[in-house]
Amino acid sequence: RALAVCIGPSGCWVLHRVQISDLPSKELVPGDVVELHVGDRVPADMRIVTLRTATVRAEQSSLTGESVAVMKTSVPMRLEDCELQAKENMVFSGTAIANGTAVCIVTSTGMSTEIGKIQSQITAAGEETSETPLKKKLDEFGELLAKVIAFICLLVWVINYRHFMTFDILPGLPVPIPNPSTIKLDVGKMVYYLKIAVALAVAAIPEGLPAVITTCLALGTRTMAKKNAIVRKLPSVETLGCTTVICSDKTGTLTTNQMSAVQLVAAADSSQLRTWEVTGHTYNPAEGQVLNLLMMDK
């Protein structure tokens, strides 16, 4: 959703019929000439044609993870041989202009942009049904259990083969001996013992195992939710538990890409220094102000 917001519709200044017009970014097509100003969000991937100011910098930490604004230029480059960070004459969709003004030409829009490609990869990865380690172990256990149960059921059915036949006993003998001429195969008894074998197989299947596993994963999700971690899919809890190393970008992921003052040293006079410790997470300059430290001391 965050990527969709970055490539969502916004306005931009487009050179159209020898005049600059404010048009929605969704109407841009490759070849349009756009003028970008400081504070503008780049609506599409563009190549810089002319710099209207001495310098132009773009804030593209959301795309490349760079913590500082990147200097841009209008010098032509061979983009085929460059990495994304090295394309100094390009500005990318979803980034912002930190300072300066430039005239650019649109090269790609929508899902063809660099951030659009990332969203396409995330969407494709979400549609893939990747097997977790737990699912693989359960599949192996299920195959082994099915083979064992099938063998036991067949063995139980074969052991009772004597009960599959009906016959008469020869009269006048001290030991009961079946009359060979009366031996018949009883299909009803075969089906009866087959039902017993099937009932044994059903009883051996661990029907409560999926419910137990789901409950354990749900408890893990609940524990992570208490630590402000939202889990969208239950199998991801088990996958995270098996993870040993996580490779992640620092800027914007582990940090907020905002510098914060943690210590302030003020010189009251030539012979005295005052030190203040600053706590909290950054600040909003629109809501606060720096007071006179000498007045605070008095």
Q: What is the pLDDT of residues 100-138, one digit of tens each?
A: 999 999 999 888 888 888 888 877 776 666 677 777 888
pLDDT at residue 130, as a whole number: 65
Query: Which of 22, 249, 269, 297 does the annotation list as catalytic?
Result: 249
Taken as a whole, the chain contains a residue count of 298
5-14: average pLDDT: 63
pLDDT at residue 6, as a whole number: 54
What is the rounded distance in angstroms from the CA atom of residue 94 to the CA atom of residue 42?
6
SS3 20: strand
Per the CB < 8 A criterion, the answer to whether 103 and 126 are in contact is: no
Pick the more confident residue, 294 or 93: 93
Structure letter (DSSP) for residue 254: I
Instruction: Look up tokens 């914060």; give the residue.
Output: 260
pLDDT band at 295 (very low <50, low <70, confident <90, very high): very low
Weakest mean pLDDT among 41-50, 191-200, 236-245? 236-245
Largest interatomic CA distance in the chain: 132
DSSP line for 52-73:
SSS-EEEE-HHHH--SSPEEE-
pLDDT band at 4 (very low <50, low <70, confident <90, very high): low
What is the rounded distance in angstroms from the CA atom of residue 56 to the CA atom of residue 45?
16
pLDDT at residue 288, as a whole number: 54
Active-site residue, 249 included:
yes
Within its chain, how far is the Cα of 244 from the centroid? Answer: 17
What is the rounded distance in angstroms from the CA atom of residue 257 to the CA atom of residue 68?
9
Pick the more confident residue, 181 or 285: 181
Q: Is the pLDDT of residue 257 over 80?
A: no
pLDDT band at 165 (very low <50, low <70, confident <90, very high): confident
pLDDT at residue 246, as a whole number: 82
pLDDT at residue 170, as a whole number: 66
What is the rounded distance in angstroms from the CA atom of residue 31 to the CA atom of residue 285?
39
Start-end of H helices in the chain? 2-6, 61-64, 114-127, 133-159, 187-204, 209-226, 235-241, 293-297
Pick the more confident residue, 101 or 209: 101
Residue 143 CB-half CA count within 13 A: 5
Counting residues of the chain whose pLDDT is more than 70, the rounded percentage is: 75
In the β-sheet with 33-36, what is the strand arrangement from edge to edge? 19-24, 11-16, 33-36, 102-108, 45-51, 90-91
pLDDT band at 263 (very low <50, low <70, confident <90, very high): confident
Mean residue pLDDT across the chain: 78
SS3 27: helix
pLDDT band at 57 (very low <50, low <70, confident <90, very high): very high
Q: Which of 64-68, 252-256, 280-284 has the highest mean pLDDT?
A: 64-68
Intra-chain end-to-end CA distance of the chain, in Å: 52
Written as six digits, the tokens of 163 are: 């009960």
pLDDT at residue 128, as a whole number: 62
Start-end of H helices in 128-208? 133-159, 187-204
Exposure string of 215-228, with b = 16+ CB inside 10 Å and e = fewer, is eebeebbeeeeeee
Written as six digits, the tokens of 52 are: 């209207």
4-33: average pLDDT: 73
